[in-house]
Structure 1
Amino acid sequence: MRRTLISLLAMLLGVALTATGCASIPRSSPVKQIEAHSEDSESESYSYAADGPADGADARAIVDGFVAAGRSVAEDYAVAREFLTPELSRQWRGDTSTLIYEAVNVVNGAETNQYTIQLEIIGAVDAQGVRTMYPDHSTRAVDVAVSKVDDQWRISDAPNGVMLEASTFNKIFSAQTLYFYNATYRYLVPDIRWFATGSGTATSMVEALLEGPAPYLENAVVSAFSSAGSLVRSAVPVRDGTATVDLSKATFQDATDQMLLLMDQQLEATLIPLSSVTKVQMLQEETEITLADQSITIEPAQVDPSTPDTLIGIADKSLVYVKGLSVIPVGGLPDISRYNPREPAMSPIGNRYAFLNGSRKQLWTIGEDGSLDLGLEGESLIQPSMDLAGWTWTADNHDKNPLRAVPDSIAGKGEARTISVPWLEGSSVSSLRISRDGARALIVATKDSATTVYVSGVIRDSDGVPRGLSKTPMKIYPDVPVNTAVWESDRSIIVAELSLTEPVLAEQITFQGGSKHLQVLLGMVGIAAGTGKQREVYAESQDQLFSLVGNSWHVLDDYAKDISYPG
């Protein structure tokens, strides 16, 4: 496509998408020949050399050498294949999975000529670049068998995939962001993947994009590309800054002009952050795509949209705004003091509010017109979160299925709904926040004394009504104890274990794998963060409000409790 839809500006812990106009797809275009092997290498590529098997090496040395050879990705793991029998070498694939370990030990197996590779792992990456994290001290055993070929020991049986020590993995692989749409196509939702750096990065990213979202986002986000989409050949060449994506005819079956523009936007959002790419050209079997109607345009989708910079809180049993150093009463609302309000929420768009009563048994909502409605009654409700589609979320930990969603208009949309989530059954949910794009839920839940941080896609019907969460959530394992979590950007969160009396250590965590501890704060009972540029992080104790400056907490003159950003 000849005119760029969007340009991406890298920012701390996120990416902002800035519209530069709608794409113009030409009505006719020449046929162009594509060179399948002309893709530029990424400037930060890193590779290791590895030694092949030594002549006469014993069986144990062959297994050790095979593990070490996983760090050499050159020529489709050619060195690792040297440790395999000819038959296994033809079948084995090194790119299907990568186990990331911190310790390794090879021991004799249960039978003759068998060995077990014992690993203490921290994560794994699959063929599509989806990374799964594991808690500390997780283990994995990989069994291999050996036999002699021309009087030399070789591995005759081994599963696909390689094993990499953690520091080596971080040098060979890098995090890249694929983008999918939320249900309204107004927002691009990040899907972080991990690929080996080098000349194949753009190809790997496009192939993974066409395969669809990571499991934790399944049925919660959408792609402009159908399931029939595929590259003509496994190559996305990059030349003079232009990434050429040549797609099969089936990719465009029944695609409207609007969908063509959405495809182009999705590709550009995904590929332009690569250092070697400044432009994306989408082709159909070597021919440029044309629009039937050149007047068709789309509204550029947003990446990491900013949360409004005004927070909601409680002071003198009333709702107040917190902005910068000021605490301002919210005008035009009914008197709610008789409910002893706590833990309020504010809609990310418009002027709707929600709060719990003092006993946490009622959730009240305030509409755009200032009307006060009882949205939900329960036994042990948690702080609500309000999404873009007008739903207010909470959890009632008195119920086996704790999640609840309350519509913005009970009269028009019915009563609160129980959101059935099999993997949350029997859990106690202490924190629930819906992302700014409305496509993901950030949850802290405890079951059988084990607390886990989850990120899961929000499944909705065509009217935006929430119907469930994705079957396989992403699990995050912080370094600190946790009972609350908030979004800091569309790909980073802050977690902490709030306590009225104990010192609290909060941790910033990015989905790319980075983390940082914040300054300890005694008696932290709340924390608030908002997505977008220059959104301050706040914390509160029983009688003071703090803002984060650098890595230190600075006390504010005014005070409001239970503060939170819209959402």
Structure 2
Amino acid sequence: MNPRRRGGRVLVLALLAALLLGGCGGLPGSSPVAAGLRADTKVDQRARVVVSGPIKGAPQTIIARDFIRAGAAFQDTDANQQVVGRTFLAPDSVDRWKPTSAITVYDAPTSLTIDQLPSDQVRVSVAAVATIDAAGRYAELPPGTTRSLVLSMVRVDGEWRIELPAAGFGLWLNTDDLEQVMGHYELHYVVAGTQRLVSDVRWFPSGSGLATALTRAQLGPVPGYLSGVATTAFPASAQLAVDAVDVDPQGKATVVLADDPAVVEPGRRRALWAQLVATLLQPGTTVISVALEVQGVGPIPVPNVADEVAQLDVLGFTTEPSLALTVGAARRGTEVTLVNPQDVAEGGVVPAGRPLQGAPGPTRVSSAYTGLALSPDGTDLAAVAQGRAELVRWRAGVPLTAPPLGTDLTDPAYDTAGRLWVAGSAQGRTTVWTLTGTAATPGVATPVSAGWLTGRRVLSLRISPDATRAAVVSTAADGSGSRLDVSGVRRDGSGVPLSLAAPYQQGQPLVDLRTATWVGPLELVALARDRAGGQLRPFDVSLGAGVGLRRVARLTLDQQLVPPVPDAVSVQTRDVDSPAAALVVLTGEATYLRLGGRWELAAGVRDLVVGGL
């Protein structure tokens, strides 16, 4: 299930039907499990996983196994209005089972391993691929990770039942059931000083309580990686007045907040409502409109806004901008011209192009410069020298050498706010700089504080389309421990970046990460390996939803992922609607384009870059 506005996409040759078929992993002879209808947007028809209760006279190992599998139906009740999973538990353990407190996701094609232990205990083990915490944060695990749980067994009315650990237990969901009963959804926060919203992705059960779960989560604080970048209109004291958000048959959600003077402050009402509208009206919910009230007070009045809102723009707010990707630059030999990156003909033929704005002809960029970048409006180019100690911009075809910054400079990157970014080493310390990327002079480099990068070497730095987040690939000083982090960009009142917020690691299963480029507000494409010794290839990374390797377990990765390009050094896309089908891979000497499910060499083109990526 993928209810987000921009669904996460695994970079595969095809999403084969086999990926959506097949039974759940487990020992043979278990109680039956059947997948029901999948929930669709705006239709109150959610997915269900139907399970049976304990088998009479079943041994300890079967009871333990079927309890784990029955957990997927934690939102449903049987004919006796009993949650089936609870029927496997001893009476004292019923309250210890808190399904969404901690979820382990395991590989569906692999079986649960059940071991009988002495003293009426059973050990259950799985090949774990991800976890979801109580806040709904999804984190993928390195390949080969296992999880084990020891369960004590006791007799209840002559039948074996489970005694859960005193610390409690959540869920183990296989990858098939995860897609049926959980979904990733966006919470929304206000970009500081604007009327734009920025998203944070969390996972929630896709059942009748979804609107309530989303609202409760939306009342919480701004996540750490967006701290100082975005704000929330909800005061820390805000809470629901009743246990649930009511959604009527017409799709109207009524949110009733507890009486709190801070909630009804005039200065926060519009933004508060906008956050709820954006979150509750997203695809995957059944909500069509939102009404907002305070208990004992009634509807919260906002000038020129009705008591029921069905569109975000009524409140004067917008979400993240989309990417057009219609401005690009091609380098043939030493000549650079502007092209439309989507006007690529069959066979990888890139159009001849036109000069940069104000340039009399093609801009000449020597082969001594690498890491070509283009401003979003196509007016400026930037690159670094092969020795990675010099940054140069070209405006109207004229080179502008930036003041000396440091060594080991990354490829430069432009953001949509007009800043040019680069990272490197200065006086032995990792440093991030920005410059005015479209000025007629070289400009002054401004350091951007990022203390969490101390002791690390930055390989790649790219800014999201809405200019709120940085994607940073880095390693330890010795080159080990590569990782991809997303961090919010804190700016001053004039828009100059000041610092990077706390890192939020993404793409955890990937190793030997080289670069990561944004292909949408919540999507990145990374150049990496899936395992040590694996081939270097592009991977899609969905912010808060993972790399998607959990979806490709039934066939080997080589049968499904985009084939590698030898000597690849960077990757981006020409089309955000189908990034996998429009990949651009650069080797430093040649450009390869993904066309019709195959790689095509762009004849004579050394570099093809897209403005703002």
SS in 1 for 2:540: strand
Q: Which amino acid aligns with 1:311?
A: G
Which of 547, 550, 561 aligns to 1:517? It is 561
- Match of residue 301 from structure 2: 290
Match of 1:139 among 134, 142, 146: 146
- Asked if the contact 2:96/2:164 (under 8 Å) is kept, the reply is no
By how many angstroms is 1:189 displaced?
2.5
CA contact (8 A) 1:343 1:384 kept: yes
Residue 193 of structure 1 aligns to which amino acid in structure 2?
Answer: R
- Label 1:346 to 1:542 Cα distance change in 2 as closer, same or farther (>3 A): closer
Cα displacement string for residues 471-508 of structure 1 (whole angstroms, at most 9, x for unaligned residues): 3513214678642221111222222259xxx9964333
Aligned length: 529
Does 2:232 align with 1:223? yes
> How many Å separate the matches in 1 of 2:150 and 2:304?
59
Separation of aligned partners in 1, 2:288 and 2:47: 22
Q: Does 1:107 align with 2:115?
A: yes
The aligned counterpart of 2:46 is 45
Identical counterparts, % of pairs? 23
Determine which of 261, 273, 277 is the counterpart of 1:264. Answer: 273
Q: 1:375 to 1:238 in 2, by over 3 A?
A: farther
Corresponding residue for 1:31? Answer: none
Which one is further off, 265-274 or 392-401? Answer: 392-401
C-alpha offsets along residues 53-98 of structure 1, whole Å, 9 cap, x if unaligned?
Answer: 3455544444333222212213588222233332331343222121
1:241 to 227, 231, 251: 251
Higher mean Cα deviation, 78-87 or 143-152?
Answer: 143-152
Closer, same or farther in 2 for the Cα pair 1:179/1:313, shift >3 Å? Answer: farther
CA distance in 1, matches of 2:75, 2:609: 52
Match of 1:303 in 2: 320
Alpha carbon RMSD of aligned pairs, Å?
Answer: 4.1
Sort the Cα spacing of 1:356 and 1:369 in 2 relative to 1 into closer, same or farther, 3 A: closer
Q: Is the contact between residue 484 and residue 507 of structure 2 (CA under 8 Å) also seen in structure 1?
A: yes
Change (3 A) 1:235 1:326: farther
Residues 304 and 134 from structure 1, CA distance in 2 versus in 1: closer, same or farther, beyond 3 angstroms? farther
Q: Determine helix, strand or coil for the equivalent of 2:219.
A: helix
Letter in 2 for 1:303: E
In the other structure, the counterpart of 2:595 is: 549
Give the C-alpha shift of residue 545 in structure 1. 3.9
In 2, are the aligned partners of 1:318 and 1:329 still within 8 Å (CA)?
A: no
Q: Which residue of 2 aligns with 1:441?
A: 470
1:129 corresponds to 2:157:
no
Matched, 1:406 2:434: yes
Deviation per residue, 1:351-379 (Å, 9 max, x gap): 45533133210223568998935244222
Write the mapping of 1:69-218 to structure 2, written as runs, cut at 5 A. 69-74=70-75, 78-102=83-107, 103=110, 104-107=112-115, 112-149=119-156, 152-158=159-165, 159-214=168-223, 216-218=225-227
User: Is the CA contact (8 Å cut-off) linking 1:327 and 1:559 kept in structure 2?
Assistant: no
Matched-pair contact (CA < 8 Å) for 1:484–1:497 = yes
Partner deviation per Cα, 1:134-166 (whole Å, 9 max, x = no partner): 121112233433444555543333223111122
Q: Secondary structure at the match of 1:207?
A: helix
| Alpha-carbon distance, 1:203 to partner | 1.6
Q: Is the 8 A contact 1:307 1:566 kept in 2?
A: no
Quote the Cα distance in structure 2 between the aligned partners of 1:13 and 1:150: 48
Asked if structure 1 preserves the Cα contact closer than 8 Å seen for 2:403 and 2:444, the reply is no
CA-CA distance at 1:382 after TM superposition: 1.1
Distance 2:468 2:272 in 1: 19
Superimposed CA distance per residue, residues 193-212 of structure 1 (whole angstroms, 9 cap, x where no aligned partner): 22222211222122222224
Query: Any idea what SS the aligned residue of 1:260 has?
Result: helix
Q: How does 1:468-487 map to 2 (within 5 A)?
A: 468-477=499-508, 482-487=513-518
More off after superposition, 504-513 vs 62-71: 504-513
Q: Which amino acid aligns with 2:540?
A: Q
The secondary structure found in structure 2 opposite 1:95 is: helix
Q: Which amino acid aligns with 2:214?
A: M
Give the letter aligned to residue 177 of structure 1.
E
Give the alignment's TM-score, normalised by structure 2: 0.73
- Counterpart in the other structure of 2:353: 327
- Cα-to-partner distance string for 1:427-469 (whole Å, 9 max, x where unaligned): 3332221111122222223346343333333344555454444
Cα deviation digits, residues 292-327 of structure 1 (max 9, x gap):
577998643233422552124545656542323243
Kept in 2: contact 1:401–1:420 (CA 8 A): no
Q: Which moves more between the two structures, 390-399 or 424-433?
A: 390-399
Q: Would the aligned equivalents of 1:99 and 1:121 in 2 still touch at CA under 8 Å?
A: yes
**Cα distance between partner residues in 1 of 2:113 and 2:270:** 52
Tell me how far apart the structure 1 counterparts of residues 255 and 279 of structure 2 sit (CA, whole Å).
12
More moved, 198-207 vs 99-108: 99-108
Moved more, 533-542 or 185-194: 533-542
Gaps of 5+ in 1: 1-7, 15-39
CA contact (8 A) 1:389 1:438 kept: yes
Aligned with residue 490 of structure 1, among 521, 533, 556? 521
Counterpart amino acid of residue 518 in structure 1? V
Q: Counterparts of 1:349 and 1:255 in 2: how far apart (Å)?
A: 40
Kept after mapping to 1: 8 A contact 2:105/2:131: yes
Instruction: Give the C-alpha shift of residue 122 in structure 1.
Output: 0.5
Displacement of 1:43 after TM fit?
4.1
SS at match of 1:327: coil
Tell me whether 425-434 or 461-470 shows the greater mean CA deviation.
461-470
- Whether the aligned pair in 2 keeps the contact of 1:314 and 1:560 (CA below 8 Å) is yes
Cα shift at 1:384: 1.4
Residue segments in structure 2 that go unaligned for 5+ positions in a row: 10-40, 307-312, 344-350, 550-559
TM-superposed deviation, 1:530: 5.7
**How far 1:389 sits from its partner (Å)?**
4.3
Of residues 235, 238, 255, the one that matches 2:265 is: 255
Counterpart for residue 66 of structure 2: 65
Q: Which residue of 1 aligns with 2:555?
A: none
Residues 42 and 288 in structure 2, CA contact (< 8 A), matched pair in contact too: no
Note if contact 1:402-1:425 (Cα within 8 Å) is conserved in structure 2: yes
| In 2: Cα distance, 1:481 partner to 1:563 partner | 23
